[in-house]
Amino acid sequence: MPRTTLPPLLLPALARQGPEPLQRQLYHALRAAILQRRLPEGGRLPSSRALAAQLGISRNTVLAAYGQLQAEGYVDSRPASGLTVAALEAGVAAAGEGAALRGERRCSRRAAALVTDAEAETAAALPLSPRGIDAALFPAREWSRLLARRWRRPGPALLDGNDPAGFAPLRRAIAEHLGRSRGVRCAADQVVVVSGSQQALDLAVRLLLDPGDQAWIEDPGYGGLKAALRAAGAVPLPVPVDGQGFDPRAAERAQPGARVAFITPSHQFPTGATMPVERRLALIEWAARSGGWIVEDDYDSDFRYNGPPLAALQGLDPNGRTLYCGTFSKSMFAGLRLGWLVAPPDLLAPVLALRAAADGAPPLLGQAAMADFMAEGLLQAHLRRLRAAYGERRAALLAAATRHLAGLAEISAGEAGTHILAWLPEGRDDQALARAARAKGLGPVPLSRYRLRPGRPGLILGYAAHPPAVLEAAAAALASVLRA
């Protein structure tokens, strides 16, 4: 006969006003008693009526808990015997209850290296942080209208689309935009929509490099690229940048074994240098001669303040050995998680296979709204407003930094982007100074965070997210940190 009641020590304490339903509480309590062997194998459970009466709860509540235990294999139902505790192997029971098991808890060396190299995030809301945007400048009403319009009549393409290359109208819009504004030579079917430039770089790394292969990277340079290389088991070869950015001839002399060059030629991150045409052509010649590849990251060239954006290196390459990537994170907002990778036609099939293996296909609603945003001319209008606002903020921060940081730092700024650099005297600890600035409510980022080899210290100062008056006060506050 089934047990008529549970022993008092096994009675669960049910919280009738708690956030979890009574049936879930009872299920968890009985499951724990089974896994801990307090309810032994083969032991009979009380009938649903008896347990309901003992606990003062509804019989349906008990039936629901019993049903869940039976569905998951913790109890068996036998004719004329009621419910009995199922046989569980000792190791299974121990694992289910979180007991310590033998065996090393180890991740891969590549994953461990990523944790070691992880960059501390700087709060985007803090003045002088190079992250973030000013939400007041974003055309939220227009964006909301486009989203709502798409969602009213989504259609099969939006609900069922699973093309790893992305939403076809957006790919066409990106190809047209890049051809018009950057001189990129591509057809729409060469554009792969990705979740920001980080995914584009990760795809390029896994496409072009096997474990152990070497790649040139700029030093200092984007930390996310170093993470992608190390995650793939590739070997980054740091190439020091100068006032003209990446030097391919110096790279080949010093480290000739590279298979890929990762560069930011239009606005080197984070120094702001621009690679001249002589170096661009030299890099294209290296790729053709050596069978190497170039990955061009054009992350923020929408924001150039003296003249139009520079033409992309990709448009100069007659051999089709350049992959070109970019993002809408700066021109729209980072949470949109949309970017692109332009690949040569003969690499499209493996690129799409890698993309499909990573996350199937990109979400479509944001892509559809972005395609409409571009088709209606709203992106160009938005970029004009941003360039005007950012140009004013850039001038304000340059003036304030030059005035307040005189004798403390050397200020430099490229012709594009959303940040400037404060170069510090040799021997100063830029990471300690960044922490001290953070304690004062400021968000500069230490330049050394982006280096693989030691070099001159500095602080990266962003201006996009705050108006001139805030930047003026921030520069004065930073001066007090540097003097301390």
* pLDDT tens-digit readout, 12-55: 778 888 888 999 999 998 998 888 888 888 888 998 999 999 88
CA distance 378 to 78: 68
CA distance 259 to 229: 13
Q: Are 256 and 239 in contact (CB under 8 A)?
A: no
Is the pLDDT at 5 greater than 70? The verdict is: no
Query: Per DSSP, which regions of 189-281 are E strands?
Result: 191-194, 214-219, 235-240, 260-263
Q: Are 205 and 232 in contact (CB under 8 A)?
A: yes
**Predicted local distance difference test score (pLDDT) of residue 116:** 56
Phi and psi based region of residue 126 (left: phi greater than 0; alpha: psi -120 to 50; beta: remaining):
beta
* pLDDT tens-digit readout, 74-89: 999 877 778 999 988 7
Determine which helix (DSSP H) or strand (DSSP E) holds 395, and give its type and residue range. Answer: helix 378-404
* pLDDT tens-digit readout, 185-236: 999 999 999 999 999 999 999 999 999 999 999 999 998 999 999 999 999 9
Is the pLDDT at 143 greater than 50? The verdict is: yes
* pLDDT tens-digit readout, 155-181: 888 888 789 999 999 999 999 999 999
Sign of the torsion formed by the C-alpha atoms of 86, 89, 90 and 96: negative
Q: Which is it for strands 339-342 and 191-194: parallel, antiparallel or unpaired?
A: antiparallel
**Domains present along the chain, CATH in parentheses:** 22-85 (1.10.10.10), 138-380 (3.40.640.10), 385-483 (3.90.1150.10)
Sheet-wide strand order for 419-423? 410-412, 419-423, 458-462, 445-446
State phi, psi for 446 to the nearest 5 degrees. -70, 135
- The model's pTM is 0.84
Tokens for 192, please give them: 């792969």
Torsion of CA 401, 406, 411, 415, to 10 degrees: 60
CA distance 331 to 301: 10
Average pLDDT, the chain: 90
Residue from 226, 199, 156 nearest 360 by CA: 199
